[in-house]
Amino acid sequence: MRITEEKGGDAFERLLYCEDDTTGLRAYIAIHSTLLGPAAGGCRMFPYPDHAAARADALRLARGMTFKNAAAGLDLGGGKAVIIADPSRDKTPALMQAFGRFVDTLKGSYYTAEDVGISVEDIEQVASVTPYAVGLSTGRFASGDPSPFTALGVFLSMQEAWFRVAGTRSLKGTSVAVQGLGHVGWQLASRLHQAGARLLVADIDKGRVAAACEEFDATAVDTAHIAAAPVDIYAPCAMGGALSPEVIADLKARLVCGAANNQLADDSCGAMLMARGITYAPDYVVNSGGIINVASEIFRIDDRRWVARKIDALAAFTGQILDQAREQQTAPNIIADQLVLERLANSVRQRDIA
Ligand code: NAI
């Protein structure tokens, strides 16, 4: 196994590349910041076209984790791992264990977990060789599938945001367009249905759409038209980049609040939403319920109330961001970034004082 230190740029603490001839492992671990605590962020397996694409993804995602963990009030920094491989073809227990040995060399400055292309079973292989793998299904502190906690955080944040839009936290009778009925989207749809919301749903998987129509009395909408559906709330729960200038121009919803990461095609899309009078609940804040649950495993906390309190706090933080955005006439994504950077700066000051 060969591990080399690469340059990730001034903003990053470390970027490591690992190659293992025996198992075929080719992986990057990027550590953006350990200012608040050990870096934490999932491991993604994807057939990247080349090393540059994998490296860029690791760096972008690691930085995103610094912001998400800080926003969630967790004493965790930001890091991410990517494995260059096709999960449907290349994944073997030996490869996952080799990745685990790579993680172990960082001696706890980076904790890994599931992400796209990586299952609980894969993380269990990683955990067989390092204690720095979380998201396990068994064991005293095992946190299991993070998706229900992500969905809960999105739901509570949606109530807070709807209060800023419509003066009530009740979602009864509101119409919500849910784009993507995967792990999180399904759970969110279930909560919304229970709360009395009327659902419009879309997914490229027609089976999931049919099941949601049956289970939640939802109306199916074509994937190409879900974003522009005539609803109160749009909940992007599929892939990133759901909010491009073209999509924003067509939106009918008064609020956007969903689980997907990196919803804005770029930062300026936040201002475009504001200019159209559409409230945007920042993605990395509202979708941090899952990492909060994973954090309970890192910190070895088996009190479920700790997780519940942190998820309540993330919803309150969403409200705080939206209030500040309105007062300062600034897009909520910009306010969220400012508040997170303040938290990071405060921690530097506190550390310097101590
Ligand atoms: P998933 O892979 O289980 O579900 C995604 C769903 O979106 C699938 O059912 C897929 O068929 C559907 N989809 C893909 N392209 C689509 C399109 N163009 N239109 C409509 N549907 C489409 O993923 P999961 O775990 O539910 O995550 C959803 C989003 O939330 C992702 O962006 C993820 O990064 C983000 N997220 C997930 C967390 C979790 O706890 N699972 C935590 C934080 C963020």
DSSP 241-300: --B-HHHHHH---SEE--S-SS-BSSTHHHHHHHHTT-EE--HHHHTTHHHHHHHHHHTT
Q: How many helices (H) and strands (E) does the chain have?
A: 12, 13
Rounded distance from Cα 180 to ligand 1 centre (Å) = 6
Question: Does residue 290's CB lie within 6 angstroms of at least one atom of ligand 1?
Answer: yes
Cβ atoms < 10 Å from Cβ of 217: 10
Burial of 19 (0-12, 13-18, 19+ CB in 10 A): middle
Report the predicted TM-score, pTM, of the whole model to 2 decimal places.
Answer: 0.93
Residues 189, 216: contact at Cβ < 8 Å?
yes
Burial letters 129-156, b for 16+ CB under 10 A, else e? bbebbbbbeeeeeebeebbbbbbbbbbb
Q: Residue whose CA is closest, atom 12 of ligand 1?
A: 180
Per-position pLDDT tens, the chain of length 354: 999 999 888 889 999 999 999 999 999 999 999 999 999 999 999 999 999 999 999 999 999 999 999 999 999 999 999 999 999 999 999 999 999 999 999 999 999 999 889 999 999 999 999 999 999 998 889 998 899 999 999 999 999 999 999 999 999 999 999 999 999 999 999 999 999 999 999 999 999 999 999 999 999 999 999 999 999 999 999 988 899 999 999 999 999 999 999 999 999 999 999 999 999 999 999 999 999 999 999 999 988 999 999 999 999 999 999 999 999 999 999 999 999 999 899 877 776 666
CB 231 within 8 A of CB 221: no
Angle separating helix axes 332-353 and 304-328, nearest 10 degrees: 120
Catalytic residues: 80
189 CA distance to ligand 1 middle (Å): 13
Q: Domains of the chain (ranges plus CATH)? A: 2-61+77-127 (3.40.50.10860), 147-342 (3.40.50.720)
